[in-house]
A and B are shown apart, each in its own frame.
Chain A
Amino acid sequence: MTRITQVWIGLLLLTGATVLLAELAPPRAVLVPGALILAYGKARLILGEYLELRQAPGWFLGARRGLAGVMVLFAVLALAG
């Protein structure tokens, strides 16, 4: 199995986990970080593998940190309400 296909399966599994999380309808304190962590995982795979940022480790690290910061901002805003 190629790396591209492994990534595709990984993305589908993370999407399935997101659907499961939404179906379980946990308390907001669980739903918000859970959904954002799963989205971070998908975004990381797309950036690193499909957009091939893994070939540029410094840029990839910066992108992951930036993305994580944005996810934290979203979580704070979503949980503040």
Chain B
Amino acid sequence: MTVAARPQPDTLPGELLMWVLILSELLVFGAGFAVLLGLRLTDPPGFAAAQVRLDQPVAAANTALLITSGWLAARGLAAARSGAAARCRISLLAAALLGCGFLILKAHDYAALADQGIGMESHPFFTFFFLLTGFHAAHVAAGILLLIGVAWSAQPAGVEVATAFWHMVDLIWVLLLPVVYLL
């Protein structure tokens, strides 16, 4: 008697714990975005007036930086898998460098708002703006350290975890951009 072959269930790529982290982070940020949009209902003109003070070109430049660093990270992983350690290191360090560029632009963004006398308590919109973008920037900083950390060994398993974290940071930013800067 033969046992009918059962279809293989979907297997998540990479580390399961990394997916747990990605889902948790998406839920936390998603809740923050929903609360921001919900609060906006209480004072649409006030939120719109606050939002126009943001520097949208800087946000667009930061998006291009993160997307490009994600591309470099993906190239780094492909290089690690093919055993090209030097190419992997260069790609990951370049991705980390662009991450540093993101943080510099973000600091410039905060400084420009501070020059206008805007802080966390200026308006509920800015409370959420600084909390959400600041929390995201902390993730960028952690991602930079991870990328630099795994670049040295260029082992596929470590690179896979670090680049997955980096793509998560990228993913959160592309969702943050419309909610915080545009809507």
Q: How far is the CB of A53 from chain B (nearest CB, A)?
A: 7
**Bound-complex Cα distance A15 to B41 (A):** 27
Contact check, A46 vs B70: say whether CB atoms are below 8 A apart. Answer: yes
How many positions in chain B have a CB within 8 Å of any CB in the partner chain? 42
Q: Which residues of A contact B13 (CB under 8 A)?
A: 51-53, 55-56
| Chain B interface main SS type | helix
Residue of B nearest to A54 (CB): B13
A36-67 vs B, CB cutoff 8 Å, 1 = contact: the mask equals 10110011001101111101111100000000
Q: How far is the CB of B24 from chain A (nearest CB, A)?
A: 14
Contact check, B67 vs A15: say whether CB atoms are below 8 A apart. Answer: yes
Q: Which residues of A contact B68 (CB under 8 A)?
A: 8, 12
Contact check, A15 vs B64: say whether CB atoms are below 8 A apart. Answer: yes
Interface of B with A (CB < 8 Å)? 9-14, 22, 30, 33-34, 37-38, 40-41, 44, 47, 56, 60, 63-64, 67-68, 70-71, 73-75, 78, 163-164, 167-168, 170-171, 174-175, 177-179, 181-183
Would you list the 8 A-B pairs with minimal beta carbon distance, nearest first? A8-B71, A77-B37, A58-B10, A35-B178, A56-B10, A81-B44, A52-B13, A42-B174
Interface of A with B (CB < 8 Å)? 2, 4-5, 7-8, 11-12, 15, 18-19, 21-22, 31-32, 35-36, 38-39, 42-43, 46-47, 49-53, 55-59, 70, 73-74, 77-78, 80-81
